[in-house]
Chains A and B, each alone.
Chain A
Amino acid sequence: MVGILSYGAYLPMWRIDRSEIANASGGTSMGGERTVASWDEDSLTMGVEAGLDCLSGFDPKEIDVLYFATVSSPFKEKQASSMIASALDLRRDVYTGDFTTSLRAGTLAVKAAVDAVKSGSAKKVLVIASDCRKAMPKSDFEQLYGHGAAALLIGEPGTIADIGGFTSVSNPIPGLWQRNEDDFLKSFEPKLDKIYGLLKDVPEAVVKLLENFNLKTSDIAKFAFYGPDPRAYQDLARILKIDSKAQLQNPLFEKVGITGTPHCLLLFIAALEGSKPKERIVCANCGEGSDAFLAITSENLERIKQKHRGTKHIFTKRMIQTYGHFMDFQGIRKTDWPPKHMRASVVKYWRDQKWEIPFYGMRCNKCGTLQYPIHRCCMMCGEIDNHQEVKIGNRGKVFTYTHDYILGPGLFPCDGINPATRVVVDIEDGCRLWLEMTDHKLEEVDIDMPIETTFRLIHQKDDYRFYSWKVRPVRS
């Protein structure tokens, strides 16, 4: 039966205490903390991270289709999934597609994935949902939102959970919207959206799903919902007569926030992590209607739990100390850094993408040196055009480093306050790299510090988004 072969998730390292937001923006704290993507992260890079987590133990070349679901793509026009596919080192003939403009994009992508596998047009489909929504300062969204990503690998056989079926409801309610010219999300009447949208559509989709399988709510071990605020989950539990303690998956509001498109999938993954074999999980989403699907876990689930970080990302975190940094990470506060008009050749970036994005180096066939980046001649023995292209590993340690207060991250003139940490690292496979470090504290950097690679935004010179790899402290 078609179902889920693997799961993965990503939550950025950074958190802000909601009371810090309340102090700066007014109002009262909703309690707890929320995730915040670093300035060099977006839905695309977080999607890569979730994809890497999901594909741990799988050959990326076996993936036939990649669907990327988001309402916060870094581009209005430009496919994000093709860049994600390249960073994940998927095949060149992979089908890539972006599902967007609705928070239901993630569950719709799962539906499309299941249909593709069922129809025989694909064997393995990777679905990644990721959002990095900016919140209008002083709006409730500042505290409500969190940033994160979730990934599911759909296929057969060997599922950790079979997907029983889907139901859907479409409802053109005003809801939340963002026009092309808007920088932030808008809403007119959240109460109307809740009463005539969420609390009507989700129960309708769920009831229909249960009816299709002759199931009662008590047959379901966990419900993984999307809700726009923590109270909405309780409301859904009440309407559906679900035991909110035993059956309702914790909405992760206390530690993460509402992540948008990936949220119900993230909760679904959390439910998988807490499930035993042969349990039923219902995942139900909401956004101009509702999608719901039923999953039944298998014996395989236990086998893969340890391989994936999933929602364990919650436990590795760093606090953002001030609201100002929160603004800067989101790119909301206007500063004179980075400078706007620095040149960088997009042509060079395009030409060298093999080593920039899927992160290949070369191994000289004559002297055996593994080196980065790919050149015609070996940097050690000078052998010409005689090498193999080799994927660079993702773990290593610091050989030496500096904190550069002259040139900041991305080789922009530094703001003089936030230096770029540049490190010489030795990757476990023997490759030597010179990369920027991110998600770190200056005082923890030292010789022999363990690091891992992470796909990030390097800079936006010439108004283009240049992505490649950095290193960060290893997240446990």
Chain B
Amino acid sequence: MKKGIKDRVAIIGTGVTKFGERWEKDEEDLIVEAVMEACVTANVDLRKDVEAAWVGTFYATTGISGSTLADPLKFYGKPMTRVENYCATGMDAVRNAAYAVAAEIYDIVLVCGVEKILDQGGKGLDVTMMFPHPILLGQSAPAIFAPAAIRAFKEWGWTSEDLARVAVKNHHNGAKHPKAHFRREIDIDTALNAPMVCYPLRVFDCCAISDGAAAVILTRPEIANDLVGRNNYATIKAIGLAVETLYPFHRPDYTGLSFPANVKAAEAAYREAGIHDPRKQLDFGVVHDCFTINELITYQDIGLCKPGEAADLIREGVTAIDGDFPINPEGGLKCFGHPIGATGVRMICEITKQVLGKAEGYQVKNAKAGFAHNLGGPLSVTMITIVGTPDWE
């Protein structure tokens, strides 16, 4: 790596729609809502100032190609690209945009992630398109993670209660977020007695099917100072992305106790940001808790604790919003659901708000830098973006 991304790109605008079952809205409504909020917070004029745009969508029913973004905004004639990379779709759109800004190809760019999952109908994510081979076995989204829970129960003595604690924590946090899909607290018995989705994962171990969109405006710090002032933007400190196989369960080194993409993406991100002790140097994180077991395994993979100790973190409240290292202070995917294209962009918005002290009602104390984490596909793609205040070292 020659220069890296650290402090070369500023996030000046964020926009997040209400997440949830948006039956009456289509992707056009959601894109316009998120992009306009982002432009207002960034103090930019879409048609005058934005030079290029990236859009993240996973499902073709939401949209393919740059026109997915251009049409709702009637914003034509600009370079626009659709990005897809499993559950890191939105965050990878941010990555592509950030690199274009850092390369000084453009000054101001727009990224929007959007997904209208409910328009597809059906139960759960339609992942059948992820497995184009007629024989080579795929699985539902929870079935990617459930076998890991079975191994963790066996190896470390974790229990369904430990998984439920993740759900209880995230629901506690999300109850305070005005844009969350689910805004109610749950207790551990509710989680433990919910219907089975994918053994041993029950309903509250799984995030919901939700619609939503999120947008960010990126520029370079020197331009950001002029547009929004030094206290109103965050800078990207690192972006780590690691891609692994679509078929992890055929690998002889699959253990279920660690997801290799997590480890490699974290290593890359920490190296770029200059982090050697994430628990000390960072203040909080937003983890891809599509399933509760995933949040726990990720604690370990990204170095928040040693293997086998993640359950202790959740039992002891370390990752609670008032704990030593809050995880998912906004409620996570557990409360926002997972409109795939939108999720990564939403997470970038959330960590930006936290470090700017604008996470009203769910603010982490003294948050100067935090990370956002996506794990997508069958353990195939992990992306970690670290964002902090401009003066964070």
- The chain A residues found within 8 Å of chain B, CB to CB, are 342, 344-346, 348-349, 352, 356, 369-373, 379-380, 399-407, 411, 413-414, 416, 419, 422, 424, 430-436, 442, 447, 458-459, 461, 466, 468
Q: How near does chain A come to B147, taking the closest CB pair, in angstroms?
A: 4
Quick one: which of A342, A371, A447 contacts B250, CB cutoff 8 A? A371
CB-CB contacts of B121-160 with A at 8 A, as 1s and 0s? 0111001100111111111111100111011001000000
Top-8 shortest CB links A-B: A406-B140, A434-B249, A402-B146, A344-B134, A400-B147, A403-B199, A407-B140, A406-B124
Q: A402-B150, A436-B137 are in contact. Are A411 and B131 (CB under 8 A)?
A: yes
Query: How distant is the Cα of A405 from the Cα of B198 in the complex, in angstroms?
Result: 5
B136 lies within 8 A of A424 (CB): no
Asked if B190 is an interface residue, CB under 8 A from chain A, the answer is no
B197 lies within 8 A of A468 (CB): no
Asked if B106 is an interface residue, CB under 8 A from chain A, the answer is no
CB-CB contacts of B184-218 with A at 8 A, as 1s and 0s? 00000000000011111100000000000000000
CB-CB < 8 A to A432: which residues of B?
249-252, 254
Which A residue's beta carbon lies closest to that of B126? A413
CB-CB < 8 A to A400: which residues of B?
147-148, 150-151, 256
Quick one: which of B134, B154, B197 contacts A405, CB cutoff 8 A? B197
A402 lies within 8 A of B143 (CB): yes
Q: What are 27 A-B residue pairs whose CB atoms fall within 8 Å in the complex? A: A348-B132, A348-B134, A348-B135, A371-B250, A371-B252, A379-B245, A379-B250, A380-B253, A402-B143, A402-B146, A404-B139, A406-B124, A406-B142, A406-B143, A406-B197, A407-B128, A411-B137, A411-B138, A414-B123, A419-B199, A422-B143, A424-B147, A432-B250, A432-B252, A442-B199, A461-B134, A466-B134
CB-CB contacts of B226-255 with A at 8 A, as 1s and 0s? 000000000000000000010101111110
A404 lies within 8 A of B135 (CB): no
Q: How near does chain B come to A154, taking the closest CB pair, in angstroms?
A: 33
B249 lies within 8 A of A405 (CB): no
Q: How near does chain B come to A355, taking the closest CB pair, in angstroms?
A: 8
CB-CB < 8 A to A352: which residues of B?
133, 135
Interfacial residues of chain B within 88-111, with CB under 8 A of chain A in the complex: none
Query: How distant is the Cα of A386 from the Cα of B288 in the complex, in angstroms?
Result: 38
Query: How distant is the Cα of A270 from the Cα of B263 in the complex, in angstroms?
Result: 58
- The chain B residues found within 8 Å of chain A, CB to CB, are 122-124, 127-128, 131-143, 146-148, 150-151, 154, 196-201, 245, 247, 249-254, 256
Q: A419-B199, A447-B154 are in contact. Are A468 and B135 (CB under 8 A)?
A: yes
User: Which among A370, A399, A404, A414 has the highest number of chain B CB atoms within 10 Å?
Assistant: A404
A404 lies within 8 A of B252 (CB): no
B147 lies within 8 A of A373 (CB): no
B199 lies within 8 A of A345 (CB): no
Q: How near does chain B come to A339, taking the closest CB pair, in angstroms?
A: 10
A407 lies within 8 A of B134 (CB): no
Q: How near does chain A come to B163, taking the closest CB pair, in angstroms?
A: 13
B147 lies within 8 A of A372 (CB): no
Query: How distant is the Cα of A404 from the Cα of B197 in the complex, in angstroms?
Result: 7
Q: How near does chain B come to A382, taking the closest CB pair, in angstroms?
A: 12
CB-CB < 8 A to B196: which residues of A?
403, 405
B135 lies within 8 A of A401 (CB): no
CB-CB < 8 A to A399: which residues of B?
151, 254, 256
CB-CB < 8 A to A380: which residues of B?
251-253
Beyond A413-B124, A447-B150, 12 extra complex contacts between A and B, CB < 8 Å? A345-B132, A379-B251, A400-B147, A402-B147, A403-B199, A406-B140, A407-B127, A413-B123, A414-B123, A422-B137, A434-B249, A466-B134
Query: How distant is the Cα of A411 from the Cα of B136 in the complex, in angstroms?
Result: 10
Query: How distant is the Cα of A461 from the Cα of B135 in the complex, in angstroms?
Result: 11
Q: A416-B123, A424-B147 are in contact. Are A433 and B134 (CB under 8 A)?
A: no
Q: How near does chain A come to B317, taking the closest CB pair, in angstroms?
A: 29
Query: How distant is the Cα of A431 from the Cα of B56 in the complex, in angstroms?
Result: 37
CB-CB < 8 A to A342: which residues of B?
128
Query: How distant is the Cα of A373 from the Cα of B249 in the complex, in angstroms?
Result: 12
Which B residue's beta carbon lies closest to that of A464? B134
B123 lies within 8 A of A406 (CB): yes
Q: How near does chain B come to A376, taking the closest CB pair, in angstroms?
A: 14
Q: How near does chain A come to B62, taking the closest CB pair, in angstroms?
A: 19
Query: How distant is the Cα of A458 from the Cα of B131 in the complex, in angstroms?
Result: 14
Query: How distant is the Cα of A442 from the Cα of B198 in the complex, in angstroms?
Result: 12
CB-CB < 8 A to A459: which residues of B?
134
B249 lies within 8 A of A402 (CB): no
CB-CB < 8 A to B135: which residues of A?
348-349, 352, 356, 458, 466, 468
Query: How distant is the Cα of A414 from the Cα of B253 in the complex, in angstroms?
Result: 30
A349 lies within 8 A of B147 (CB): no
Q: How near does chain B come to A25, taking the closest CB pair, in angstroms?
A: 33
CB-CB < 8 A to A424: which residues of B?
147, 249, 254, 256
Which A residue's beta carbon lies closest to that of B199? A403
CB-CB < 8 A to A403: which residues of B?
196, 198-199
CB-CB < 8 A to A430: which residues of B?
252
Q: A432-B251, A466-B134 are in contact. Are A401 and B140 (CB under 8 A)?
A: no
Q: A379-B245, A416-B123, A461-B134 are in contact. Are A404 and B250 (CB under 8 A)?
A: no
Query: How distant is the Cα of A436 from the Cα of B128 in the complex, in angstroms?
Result: 16
Query: How distant is the Cα of A394 from the Cα of B13 in the complex, in angstroms?
Result: 58
Query: How distant is the Cα of A422 from the Cα of B256 in the complex, in angstroms?
Result: 14
Q: How near does chain B come to A405, taking the closest CB pair, in angstroms?
A: 6
Which A residue's beta carbon lies closest to that of B147? A400
Query: How distant is the Cα of A380 from the Cα of B244 in the complex, in angstroms?
Result: 12
Query: How distant is the Cα of A261 from the Cα of B64 in the complex, in angstroms?
Result: 54
A434 lies within 8 A of B134 (CB): no
Query: How distant is the Cα of A352 from the Cα of B136 in the complex, in angstroms?
Result: 10
CB-CB < 8 A to A468: which residues of B?
135
CB-CB < 8 A to A404: which residues of B?
139-140, 142-143, 146, 198
CB-CB < 8 A to B249: which residues of A?
424, 432-434
User: Which among A349, A402, A422, A433 has the highest number of chain B CB atoms within 10 Å?
Assistant: A402
Query: How distant is the Cα of A403 from the Cα of B249 in the complex, in angstroms?
Result: 15
Query: How distant is the Cα of A125 from the Cα of B157 in the complex, in angstroms?
Result: 55
Query: How distant is the Cα of A408 from the Cα of B148 in the complex, in angstroms?
Result: 19
CB-CB < 8 A to B253: which residues of A?
380
Query: How distant is the Cα of A379 from the Cα of B140 in the complex, in angstroms?
Result: 23
Query: How distant is the Cα of A476 from the Cα of B256 in the complex, in angstroms?
Result: 30
Which B residue's beta carbon lies closest to that of A461? B134
Quick one: which of B146, B198, B247 contacts A434, CB cutoff 8 A? B247
Query: How distant is the Cα of A401 from the Cα of B139 in the complex, in angstroms?
Result: 11
User: Which among B154, B197, B198 has the highest number of chain A CB atoms within 10 Å?
Assistant: B198
CB-CB < 8 A to A406: which residues of B?
123-124, 140-143, 197-198
B139 lies within 8 A of A407 (CB): yes
Query: How distant is the Cα of A466 from the Cα of B134 in the complex, in angstroms?
Result: 8
Q: How near does chain A come to B243, taking the closest CB pair, in angstroms?
A: 14
A373 lies within 8 A of B137 (CB): no
